[in-house]
């Protein structure tokens, strides 16, 4: 049987840097929670069977959102942990009876609501036969400065060969569960996979696939989503 595809979105965090009265994933963009747009981005690909959303155990906001447009293609998992790594790992364990070890899991940030269908399709096409898996990423374009302890520039870092990681990050369920189980507090799934000796593939992403970290970035995301819906 060919490997199946599933989405997994860790959404158990509080978004402390966002400075909002609600967790960042529930902040509204274009009349919908940011999390809704992230789910819709993955569900837009017909090959993704189910998008699992990993939530805090005591999450009460998820049930207040109308998810009916997705039917049975979105499923909440109330098993989030204190870190991203813990939430993703807990989610992988929770779906182990549904997903085979060789099935693909696409882990996507709840705070990346602007992923477009073309970029997602490019990732899946590039990796569906890959022996390791990989991630969306874009080459670093800005000049990078290393700060000293005094808050001044210590040196300029070369940017050649550097890429900025995005999501989704696409790996086999069994490989990713093993890698995250053995990992420390990594900040993305690729780092865990690298730590077990594998080399994930870099697939060109898109500048529009931005991660909303601060409130001022909401307007940019809203403009991108509004433009896409108006086409």
Residues 3-33 have pLDDT tens digits of: 999 999 999 987 555 656 789 999 999 999 9
From the list 56, 103, 184, the residue with the least C-alpha distance to 92 is: 103
pLDDT of residue 231: 45
- All structural domains of the chain, each given as residue ranges with its CATH number in brackets, are 5-229 (3.90.550.10)
What is the pLDDT confidence band of residue 226, given thresholds at 50, 70 and 90? confident
- Find out whether 166 and 111 touch, Cβ atoms under 8 Å: no
Which residues contact residue 113 at a Cβ distance below 8 angstroms, ignoring those fewer than 6 apart? 29, 34, 37, 38, 41, 212, 221, 225
- Find out whether 181 and 89 touch, Cβ atoms under 8 Å: yes
Please give the share of the chain, as a percent, with pLDDT higher than 70.
Answer: 95
Per-residue tokens: 39? 């789910």
- Find out whether 23 and 61 touch, Cβ atoms under 8 Å: yes
For the cut 60, the answer to whether the pLDDT of residue 45 exceeds it is yes
User: Treating both helix axes as pointing N-terminal to C-terminal, what angle do 34-43 and 217-229 enclose, rounded to 10 degrees?
Assistant: 40
What global pTM score does this model have?
A: 0.94
Residues 106-128 have pLDDT tens digits of: 999 999 999 999 999 999 999 99
**Coil, helix or strand for 230?**
coil
Strands 5-11 and 201-204 come out as unpaired
What is the pLDDT confidence band of residue 230, given thresholds at 50, 70 and 90? very low
Least confident window among 8-22, 24-38, 135-149, 194-208: 8-22
Average pLDDT (186-192) is 97
Residues 65 and 177: their CA atoms lie apart, in Å, by: 29
Residues 106 and 167: their CA atoms lie apart, in Å, by: 8
The neighbouring-strand residues paired with 172 are 104
């Amino acid at each position: 049987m060919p490997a199946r595809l599933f989405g997994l979105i860790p959404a158990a965090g509080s978004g402390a840097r966002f400075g909002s009265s609600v967790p960042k994933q529930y902040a509204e963009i274009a009349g919908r929670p940011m999390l809704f747009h992230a789910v819709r981005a993955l569900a837009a690909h017909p090959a993704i069977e189910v998008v699992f959303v990993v939530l805090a155990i005591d999450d009460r906001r998820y049930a207040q959102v109308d998810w009916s447009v997705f039917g049975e293609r979105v499923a909440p998992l109330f098993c989030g942990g204190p870190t991203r790594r813990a939430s993703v790992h807990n989610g992988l364990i929770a779906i182990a009876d549904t997903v085979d070890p060789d099935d693909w899991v696409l882990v996507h940030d709840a705070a990346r609501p602007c992923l477009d269908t073309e970029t997602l399709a490019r990732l899946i096409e590039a990796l569906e036969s890959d022996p390791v898996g990989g991630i969306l990423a874009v080459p670093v374009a800005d000049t990078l400065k290393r700060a000293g302890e005094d808050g001044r520039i210590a040196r300029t870092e070369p940017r050649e060969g550097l890429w900025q990681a995005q999501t989704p990050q696409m790996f086999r369920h069994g490989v990713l569960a093993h890698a995250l189980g053995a990992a420390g507090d990594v900040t993305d799934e690729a780092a865990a996979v690298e730590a077990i000796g594998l080399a994930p593939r870099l697939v060109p992403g898109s500048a529009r696939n931005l991660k909303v970290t601060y409130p001022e970035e909401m307007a940019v995301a809203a403009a991108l989503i509004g433009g896409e819906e108006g086409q």
